[in-house]
Amino acid sequence: MFTDLIPWKTKEMEKIAKVFLCDKKLILLRAPAGMGKTSVAIAYLIYNAIMGRRGAIFLRTRREIEHALKIAKTIHTRLKADLLIIATPSKQRLCVMSPSETIPIKFMCPIIECPRMKRRKYSDIEKYLRKNVLTTTDEYLRVLSMGRRCPFWIIRSLLPKANIIVGVHEYFKDDYLFSLLGELDVLIIDEAHNLLMMHYEFDRDKIERGKILVEEFLERGGRNIARLIVGLWRQGNYDDAEAVSQYQQYTQTDGKEKRLGRKILKIPTPISTIRKRLEKSGKIVLMSSTLYPSRFFETIFSKNMEHEMKIIKGLMRNPNRTIRIMDTDISTSIRERNPETYRKYAETIRTIKTRTKHKMIVFAPSYDVAKGISKFLGAPVTDNPKGEEIIITVYRGRIAEGVEIPEDYRVAIMAGLPYPKLTQRESKILEAYSEEYGVSIEVLREAYMRSSMVSALIQAMGRVGRKNRGWIYIIDRRARALLAG
């Protein structure tokens, strides 16, 4: 089994590995956080690379990319195989000349006549990277820019040669960036729930202006729009250059169109992107601990396509964490947000505190709920703990997102479930999905809210039990039924 490549192999990983070996071209895998999905995915890519098959893994954040690179380095060092493993930082980071946010970097190069554009030799860099897997994106950028070269142009040459690519989701979602990767046999998307709500946003006024400028240019016999953009920028006509660039991107972007005030949204459905990527690859594995509700994701990612969906139940599997869903009649549902509910929450939290000597973080679904509980509990609402025994914060806030907190906060209280407020933008995207998938908007809305809730819950839960043992208590009447499936 290819998991033999992983030095820290567990029985749980074998279960995941079997899913990877399924002979379907499209695989959906929901497995609890902490089961070792990324380790198995990297081992699978390395195994395939040794067999001569190219693969890529797409992750959500830089931190996740670096975690994957560390795993790849450990396996690669033991194997001593001649493999080229390349990390792709976000496209803006690949330009070292402080690129403009409004013009794609490919236009910046001729605009500023960047001298780095001409330094395209990369054989020494390739040789070095075949021997060394670097573990941070900064290190990759440093190596790619050696000899005052351009990381963007060097990586463009290296990507089609790489045996394994470790990139951000952007490289899977975006047609142009994906085209830079070359033909791939295996694509793995980690935290695949993040493919939801993919969209591109354009400014209506700019598109209208850009359209006029392009039509005038073509009437004058012009052919190359890139030249028009570069020319306008060099004349100092930045707004028009941006308008033409936006118009060009708008015409080249696929997706269902929706209006939102002065904005135009182009919304590619996840299934249309997956279908396109499958045309160019042998296999796609979409994995996440947050494919909740699973039926919803099965529809969104694989409707009318042959696929395999595997669910390994549970939210989080980590020997360092104990999760308890409390048997309770209280809830922070909108209509129950009142002083009596907050008093009951405070009472329950106080009871839990009497049973533990550890400090506690309470996560609440909103600042109003946090303040309500704080009033009865006498604990501060803060993202900056100063040694208090109990602090209260919010889901999706700084602490939940990963800001460092002292290790002695080892108990996390989930005071209610973090259902989001749907924004207008999200509503428009769900409207487009409803039309494309033929599923009612109400069903989609409910499923999306639940998925977003589970995602925020897991993220907050991950704040304890990292180095030391942690305890998690979920206090909401709805939790048991909702999280069971």
The residue among 87 and 346 lying less far from ligand SF4, judged by its C-beta, is: 87
- The rounded distance, in Å, linking the Cα atoms of 16 and 84 is 25
Beta strands in 222-372 (DSSP E): 256-260, 263-267, 281-288, 308-311, 321-325, 359-364
Residues 6+ apart with CB under 8 A from 141: 89, 93, 94, 96, 151
Least CB distance to ligand SF4 at residue 217 (A) = 23
Tell me: does residue 241 bind ligand SF4 (CB under 6 A).
no
Q: How far is CA 408 from CA 298, 303, 304, 378, in A?
A: 40, 46, 49, 20
Least CB distance to ligand SF4 at residue 171 (A) = 16
* Number of Cβ within a 10 Å radius of residue 189: 26
Residue pointed to by tokens 């704040």: 463
Residues 6+ apart with CB under 8 A from 471: 321, 322, 324, 356, 358, 410, 411, 412, 464, 465
Q: Segment 115-154, which members bind ligand SF4 (CB under 6 A)?
A: 116-117, 150, 152-153
Of 105, 141, 422, 449, the residue at the interface with ligand SF4 (CB under 6 A) is 105
Of 22, 79, 97, 143, the residue at the interface with ligand SF4 (CB under 6 A) is 97
From the list 4-12, 62-70, 93-101, 455-463, the region that binds ligand SF4 by CB under 6 A is: 93-101
The residue among 104 and 420 lying less far from ligand SF4, judged by its C-beta, is: 104
- The rounded distance, in Å, linking the Cα atoms of 287 and 281 is 17
Q: How many residues form the binding site for ligand SF4 (CB under 6 A)?
A: 14
- The rounded distance, in Å, linking the Cα atoms of 245 and 238 is 10
Residues 6+ apart with CB under 8 A from 261: none
- The rounded distance, in Å, linking the Cα atoms of 355 and 307 is 47
Least CB distance to ligand SF4 at residue 145 (A) = 8
Least CB distance to ligand SF4 at residue 127 (A) = 22
Of 5, 57, 109, 158, the residue at the interface with ligand SF4 (CB under 6 A) is 109
Of 114, 228, 244, 286, the residue at the interface with ligand SF4 (CB under 6 A) is 114
Of 31, 56, 71, 108, the residue at the interface with ligand SF4 (CB under 6 A) is 108
Q: What is the DSSP letter of 316?
A: B
The residue among 114 and 133 lying less far from ligand SF4, judged by its C-beta, is: 114
Of 50, 96, 197, 449, the residue at the interface with ligand SF4 (CB under 6 A) is 96
Q: Which pair of tokens denotes residue 258?
A: 């929706």
Residues 6+ apart with CB under 8 A from 432: 255, 256, 258, 265, 267, 269
- The rounded distance, in Å, linking the Cα atoms of 454 and 293 is 9
Give me the 150-179 binding string for ligand SF4, x by CB under 6 A, dash otherwise: x-xx--------------------------
The residue among 138 and 201 lying less far from ligand SF4, judged by its C-beta, is: 138
Least CB distance to ligand SF4 at residue 155 (A) = 10
Least CB distance to ligand SF4 at residue 292 (A) = 40
What residues line the site for ligand SF4 (CB under 6 A)?
A: 95-97, 99, 105, 108-109, 112, 114, 116-117, 150, 152-153
